A and B are shown apart, each in its own frame.
Chain A
């Protein structure tokens, strides 16, 4: 499988998102780089609204991911309760 990549600005909100990603994608690798956090995984990465909300302790809209998102590779599947990037190869 090809690797997908997703990167966020390194800030407080993104840290919760990254924690949620680590929880839901145990195979993923997280790299902390200057001012940014990069996450890679084989095949796919999913962000679940419920996990992020649990981490943050408050409501969180999936679309607000755009505020902190830096880049990603792969196809996107997005709905109210999740955001996934994936390669099918």
Chain B
């Protein structure tokens, strides 16, 4: 028999596409009940284009190759005390944020993709979602295994899982994933596939990881880059789902536009922390947050939106605002954490003079004018033994859950932005017009937000009894994991190891 040679496309189609069938004995809607409630109209699932045609055996093969490499490096890293090779122990605080805030988000994404991977009616999209679910499980597990070694030598890693359900700043990330997971399958795909993959992880896993490499953190760059090799698939899936929905029915266009507007903003708000990690937490700098944003978002995102124009999708109307905020974001964030680090599971510090100069150079329009004087004042106070901590509990934005730290960068960057609206007789507060709009589109959802500060006031975080009780509730090791890096046990150990005590 003459055997025809099959190309990748034909092979994938034959092996995957025809597995599903038209039901005869049950109502298909009972098996796939969540396809319609979001208002999305799918006329023909066969039009779905699989961006990557990975068969399961190829998936096992290539992913196993990645894993083999990754774990060989982990073993070498821990056998050789790789943590001693980082440029400075201050750096380790960036990956504490990573493990406590980002990694559990990977597990949430895994769970959400399992849900969509079960419930999407079209097999092509379903399988792509399932593979992503598997990848996201990979990500949290490889991240835990990378950090496992650091956890043995530094404070702030050990209660990452407990903290994820409780701590105030981590709640920002958790609410992002809870928001996506509690939505329908299509909104979830747009939220994670587009906002998280295309916008967020690209910045977190490429320039930040390159920075991790530059700072001698072999374990983190290894999992980061290895994870990012999966993200390339995920981003493409995110783009594909958007194109698919837009092509299926014109009624989908306004729904998708609304989701893009919402999720780009939700993802962008979380990036505030990544901005700070890049500008303030890498002892050796690779590129500034602003430069990274211009390259990975403005250039790449701009091309994407230009591509979506033909479907009638517009750039969100807050584009000018985020363009202006890139000059401010990292500085406002690091200041917030510096002044609240009595309640964080990582250490903060005042940038060195050399670092201040670098920031002045990278942010000529804003740094000297608005932020440098603050740091100089903070240093003066600290030198006098009056290190400043913010004693009160901040007002949080009802939507993104970030404290009110954002200023009116387009008018007067000294003015904090406050917005509020009334819903069912109660007043709700926001950090921006965008967060207010998101709330107003789905108030019945966002009134339920588990806002850490409200919960503390209501006595739900360790009961009444002040901040001490809250720290117990967080399992935050006071005096070890929190406050200044200078004088911390982390610093003491580092100096001993390095022989500079």
- Using CB atoms and an 8 Å cutoff, list the residues of chain A in contact with chain B: 2-5, 7, 9, 33-36, 62-64, 66-76, 78-80, 87-89
Complex Cα spacing A50 to B276, Å: 44
Contact B62 A34 (CB under 8 A): no
Contact B8 A70 (CB under 8 A): no
> Please, which residues of chain A bring their CB within 8 A of the CB of B233?
66
A70 is contacted by which of B52, B229, B236, B286 (Cβ under 8 Å)? B229
User: Would you mind naming 27 contact pairs between A and B with Cβ atoms under 8 Å apart?
Assistant: A2-B302, A2-B303, A2-B307, A3-B299, A3-B303, A5-B299, A34-B211, A34-B213, A34-B214, A34-B286, A35-B221, A36-B206, A64-B65, A66-B54, A66-B62, A66-B229, A69-B229, A71-B205, A71-B228, A73-B303, A73-B304, A74-B303, A78-B53, A79-B7, A80-B7, A87-B307, A89-B309
Residue of B nearest to A66 (CB): B62
Contact A80 B8 (CB under 8 A): yes
| B-side interface size class | 35 or more
> Please, which residues of chain A bring their CB within 8 A of the CB of B488?
none
* Nearest CB of chain B from residue A77's CB, rounded to whole Å: 9
B232 is contacted by which of A2, A4, A70 (Cβ under 8 Å)? A70
Contact B231 A71 (CB under 8 A): yes
The answer to the question of B29 belonging to the interface, with a C-beta cut-off of 8 Å to chain A, is no
> Please, which residues of chain B bring their CB within 8 A of the CB of A5?
299-300
The answer to the question of B210 belonging to the interface, with a C-beta cut-off of 8 Å to chain A, is yes
**Given A5-B300, A66-B52, A76-B52, 9 more pairs with CB closer than 8 A:** A3-B303, A35-B209, A35-B213, A70-B232, A73-B235, A75-B239, A78-B51, A87-B307, A89-B307
0/1 interface trace, chain B 462-501, chain A, CB 8 Å (1 if under): 0000000000000000000000000000000000000000
Residue of A nearest to B284 (CB): A34
Contact A63 B62 (CB under 8 A): yes
Complex Cα spacing A4 to B299, Å: 9
0/1 interface trace, chain B 294-318, chain A, CB 8 Å (1 if under): 0000011011101101000000000
Interface residues of B in 208-252 (CB under 8 A from A): 209-211, 213-214, 221, 225, 228-233, 235-236, 239
The answer to the question of B17 belonging to the interface, with a C-beta cut-off of 8 Å to chain A, is no
> Please, which residues of chain B bring their CB within 8 A of the CB of A72?
232, 235-236
